[in-house]
C-alpha cells in the first residue's frame, strides 16, 4: 500500500464525495487529474479505493483487516460504502459503475451495513429532500441500477422516499419499478408523495403498477392540490390515466381545499372531452363563474368572456392570483395571445400569480417574446416587478438567454433594457455576475452597455470583476476595472452562484 498521508487523501475524498455539491462533472475531471498527478493515490487507503472503484486494493486491505469495511472515517465520518455511493466516479461510465458495484459487494461481504446513513445512527430518516443512505447515492443522486439492485438485495431501503421521488422526477421508470417491487421498500408517507408526484407525467403503465400495489386514488396531497384525480386533470394527463383512476375508485365529487371538483378543473382548463367523461361518471356540473370565464379565455372565446363580465360586474374582481397562475402557465407554454386577451378585457397586467408571484411580464421574458414585453409595458406593466425569489423579468430573461442562447431571448433582454429595466436588477448586480460566471461575453457586453456595474457586490462579497479574476478572464477584468466601486444593494435576494 502507498504511504500517502491524510493531507493527500482527505482533499481528494472531499473533492470526490460530496452529496450536496452541484458540479459533479467538473469535480470528476479534477479528480482524474489528481490521480494522474499523484502516483499511489488509488492504492493509498480503503476510502479512496472505494470512491474510485479500485477492486484490487479493496480486496487486499479487507483480506488483512476485514473489520475496516464497517469502520467510519474521513470527512464524512462514514463507512467506505457511503464514500463509494456518493462518489463522482459514479458518472465515469458503465465500466466504472461495474467496478464500484464489485467494490460494494466486497464491502458487504465483509459486513458493512447497507442501511448506514450520513450523519451516523442518529440521523433522521424522514427528510426526503436530502440524500443520506448508500441507496440514495446509487439511485437518487446518481443512477447506478446495478449497485442499487445489490444494495436492495442486502436489505437497503428508501425510508425517506428520496430515491423514489428523484426517480419519478427525472422520469426514470426502471428505477421507479425497482423500488416498487417490495411494498416495504419505501416509507409509507414518502411513497404516497411519490404516487402523487407521478401525475406530472403521463405513464399509464406505471400508474397501473402503483394501483396494483394498493395506492389510494383518493390520497390527498399535503398542499392545495387535492387528490390524484385533481392532479391528473390539472397537469393535463391523458384520458387513459383518468379512466384508470376512475376504475380504481377515484371520487369524482371530492373537492380540493379551494372548493373545486375535478369536473370544475376540467371546465376551467378547457378540457371538454374530459369534463364530459367525469359528468358521465357522476360528477356534479356545478362550476364557479370565474372558472367559466377562464375557460372562455383559454378557448379564445372573447365574446363569451365579455358576456360573463357584463352579466356580473363583480366577476372581474374575483379573478385572483389562482386564476392568473393558469394564464401564466399557458403564456409560458407558448400562448402569448392569451396575455393580450387577458389585459384587453381590462385585467391589471401587474397582477401576480399565487405560486411564484410572477406577473405577465415575467412570463413574456421566460417565453422570449420581445413584442409581448413591449406591448405589456405600453399597457401599464411595471418593468421591474420581483417574483418570490426577488427576480425581475430582466433577471429571468438573462437566465433564459444563458440556458438557450436563442436569438429571441437575447432580443427580449434588449427590449427590456430599452423599456427601462434596471441592468443591475434593483441594486443586486446579479445579471452581470451570472453572465460573467457563465463566460457569456455577448450578454456581458449587452449588460455593460446598458449600465450594469461590474463592481456591485452580493452579500457574499462577490462581484462580476472578482468572478472574472477567478476564471482568468483577464480581458474582462481590464474592462471591468474602469468602473467605480459599489457595495451590495439592500434588496439583494441571493448569494450569487
**Residue 259: its pLDDT value, please?**
87
| CB 116, CB 108: distance < 8 Å | no
Say how many C-beta atoms besides its own lie within 10 A of residue 183's C-beta: 10
Q: What angle do CA 270, 299, 339 make, to 5 degrees?
A: 110
Element of type H or E holding 221: none
**Residue 197: its pLDDT value, please?**
87
Say how many C-beta atoms besides its own lie within 10 A of residue 426's C-beta: 20
Q: Which fold has domain 422-497?
A: 1.25.40
- What sections of 67-127 are H helices per DSSP? 80-85, 93-109
Say how far apart CA 217 and CA 196 lie, in whole Å. 9
Top CATH class, 6-156:
mainly alpha
**Residue 439: its pLDDT value, please?**
84
Give 183's Cβ-side CA count (13 Å radius). Answer: 7
C-alpha cell at 266: 376540467
Say how far apart CA 183 and CA 65 lie, in whole Å. 37
Domain locations along the chain: 6-156, 217-287, 422-497
Helical axes 321-332 vs 360-367, angle rounded to 10°: 20
**Residue 160: its pLDDT value, please?**
78
Q: Is the pLDDT of residue 2 over 50?
A: no
Lowest mean pLDDT among 57-71, 93-107, 240-254, 398-412: 398-412
> Among the ranges 322-326, 371-375, 445-449, which has the highest mean pLDDT value?
371-375
**Residue 497: its pLDDT value, please?**
35
C-alpha cell at 9: 487523501
Say how many C-beta atoms besides its own lie within 10 A of residue 371's C-beta: 13
Average pLDDT estimate for 7-26: 81
Q: Is the pLDDT of residue 124 over 60?
A: no
Strand partners, 73: 78
In degrees rounded to 5, what are phi and psi of residue 359? -105, 175
Cβ-based burial of 490 (10 A; exposed 0-12, middle 13-18, buried ≥19): exposed
- Over its C-alpha atoms, the chain yields an Rg (Å, rounded) of 27
With a CB cutoff of 8 Å and minimum separation 6, the contacts of 389 are 356, 493, 494
Lowest mean pLDDT among 121-125, 163-167, 289-293, 419-423: 121-125
Q: Is the pLDDT of residue 20 over 70?
A: no
Q: What is the DSSP string of 436-464?
A: HHTT-HHHHHHHHHTT--TT---TTS--H
- What sections of 65-187 are H helices per DSSP? 80-85, 93-109, 134-135, 145-153, 162-169, 173-180
| CB 431, CB 398: distance < 8 Å | yes
| CB 158, CB 185: distance < 8 Å | yes
Residues, the chain: 497
Q: Which residue has the higher pLDDT, 118 or 379?
A: 379
Say how far apart CA 274 and CA 439 lie, in whole Å. 48
CATH 3.40.50.300 is right for the domain spanning 217-287: no
- What sections of 393-494 are H helices per DSSP? 393-404, 407-418, 430-437, 441-449, 464-470, 474-480
Whole-number average pLDDT of the chain: 88
Say how far apart CA 260 and CA 497 lie, in whole Å. 40
With a CB cutoff of 8 Å and minimum separation 6, the contacts of 385 are 350, 352, 359, 361, 362, 392, 393
User: DSSP code of 70?
Assistant: G
Q: What is the pTM of this model?
A: 0.67
Helical axes 162-169 vs 173-180, angle rounded to 10°: 150
Say how many C-beta atoms besides its own lie within 10 A of residue 418's C-beta: 13
Say how far apart CA 119 and CA 123 lie, in whole Å. 5
Average pLDDT estimate for 182-187: 67
Q: Which long-range contacts (CB under 8 A, 24 or more apart) does 18-21 make?
A: 18/86, 19/86, 19/118, 19/130, 19/131, 19/136, 19/137, 19/141, 20/130
| CB 31, CB 24: distance < 8 Å | no
Report pLDDT digits (tens) over 321-365. 989 999 999 999 999 999 999 999 999 999 999 888 999 999 999
Under the banding of pLDDT at 50, 70 and 90, the label for residue 7 is: low
Q: Is the pLDDT of residue 131 over 80?
A: no
* Fold agreement (6-156, 422-497): yes
Residue 393 CA: distances (Å) to CA of 255, 368, 420, 449: 35, 11, 12, 18
User: DSSP code of 141?
Assistant: I
Q: Is the pLDDT of residue 243 over 50?
A: yes
C-alpha cell at 197: 408526484
Say how far apart CA 104 and CA 82 lie, in whole Å. 10
Say how many C-beta atoms besides its own lie within 10 A of residue 462's C-beta: 18
C-alpha cell at 214: 394498493
Say how far apart CA 61 and CA 245 lie, in whole Å. 54
Amino acid at each position: 500500500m502507498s504511504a500517502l498521508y491524510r493531507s493527500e487523501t482527505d482533499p481528494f475524498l472531499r473533492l470526490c464525495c460530496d452529496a450536496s455539491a452541484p458540479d459533479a462533472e467538473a469535480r470528476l475531471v479534477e479528480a482524474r487529474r489528481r490521480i494522474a498527478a499523484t502516483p499511489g493515490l488509488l492504492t493509498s487507503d480503503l476510502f479512496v479505493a472505494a470512491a474510485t472503484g479500485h477492486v484490487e486494493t479493496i480486496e487486499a486491505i479487507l483480506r488483512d483487516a476485514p473489520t475496516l469495511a464497517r469502520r467510519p472515517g474521513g470527512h464524512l465520518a462514514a463507512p467506505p460504502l457511503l464514500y463509494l455511493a456518493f462518489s463522482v466516479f459514479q458518472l465515469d461510465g458503465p465500466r466504472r459503475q461495474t467496478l464500484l458495484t464489485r467494490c460494494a459487494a466486497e464491502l458487504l461481504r465483509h459486513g458493512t451495513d447497507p442501511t448506514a446513513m450520513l450523519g451516523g445512527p442518529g440521523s433522521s430518516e424522514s427528510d426526503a429532500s436530502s440524500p443520506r443512505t448508500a441507496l440514495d447515492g446509487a439511485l437518487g443522486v446518481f443512477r447506478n441500477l446495478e449497485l442499487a439492485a445489490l444494495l436492495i438485495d442486502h436489505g437497503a431501503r428508501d425510508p425517506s422516499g428520496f430515491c423514489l421521488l428523484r426517480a419519478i422526477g427525472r422520469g426514470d421508470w426502471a428505477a421507479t419499478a425497482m423500488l416498487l417491487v417490495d411494498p416495504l421498500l419505501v416509507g409509507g408517507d414518502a411513497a404516497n408523495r411519490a404516487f402523487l408526484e407521478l401525475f406530472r407525467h403521463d405513464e399509464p403503465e406505471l400508474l397501473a403498477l402503483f394501483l396494483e400495489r394498493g395506492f389510494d386514488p383518493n390520497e390527498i396531497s399535503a398542499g392545495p392540490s387535492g387528490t390524484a384525480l385533481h392532479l391528473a386533470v390539472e397537469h393535463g394527463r391523458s384520458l387513459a390515466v383518468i379512466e384508470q383512476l376512475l376504475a380504481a375508485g377515484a371520487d369524482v365529487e371530492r373537492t380540493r381545499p379551494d372548493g373545486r371538483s375535478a369536473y370544475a378543473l376540467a371546465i376551467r382548463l378547457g378540457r371538454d372531452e374530459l369534463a364530459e367523461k367525469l359528468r358521465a361518471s357522476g360528477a356534479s356540473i356545478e362550476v364557479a363563474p370565474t372558472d367559466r370565464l377562464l375557460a372562455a379565455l383559454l378557448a379564445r372565446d372573447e365574446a363569451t368572456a365579455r358576456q360573463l363580465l357584463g352579466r356580473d360586474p363583480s366577476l372581474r374582481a374575483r379573478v385572483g392570483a389562482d386564476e392568473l397562475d393558469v394564464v401564466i402557465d399557458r403564456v409560458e407554454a407558448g400562448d402569448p395571445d392569451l396575455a393580450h386577451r387577458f389585459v384587453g378585457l381590462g385585467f391589471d397586467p401587474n397582477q401576480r400569480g399565487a405560486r411564484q408571484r410572477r406577473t405577465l411580464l415575467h412570463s413574456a421574458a421566460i417565453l422570449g417574446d420581445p413584442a409581448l414585453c413591449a406591448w405589456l409595458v405600453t399597457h401599464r406593466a411595471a418593468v421591474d416587478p420581483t417574483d418570490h425569489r426577488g427576480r425581475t423579468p430582466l433577471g429571468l430573461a438573462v437566465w433564459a438567454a444563458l440556458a438557450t442562447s436563442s436569438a429571441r431571448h437575447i432580443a427580449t433582454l434588449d427590449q427590456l433594457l430599452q423599456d427601462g429595466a434596471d441592468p443591475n436588477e434593483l441594486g443586486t448586480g446579479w445579471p452581470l455576475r451570472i453572465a460573467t460566471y457563465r463566460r457569456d461575453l455577448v450578454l456581458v457586453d449587452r449588460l455593460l452597455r446598458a449600465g450594469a456595474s461590474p463592481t456591485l457586490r452580493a452579500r457574499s462579497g462577490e462581484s462580476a470583476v472578482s468572478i472574472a479574476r477567478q476564471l482568468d478572464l483577464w480581458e474582462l477584468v481590464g474592462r471591468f476595472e474602469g468602473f467605480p466601486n459599489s457595495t451590495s444593494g439592500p434588496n439583494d435576494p441571493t448569494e450569487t452562484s
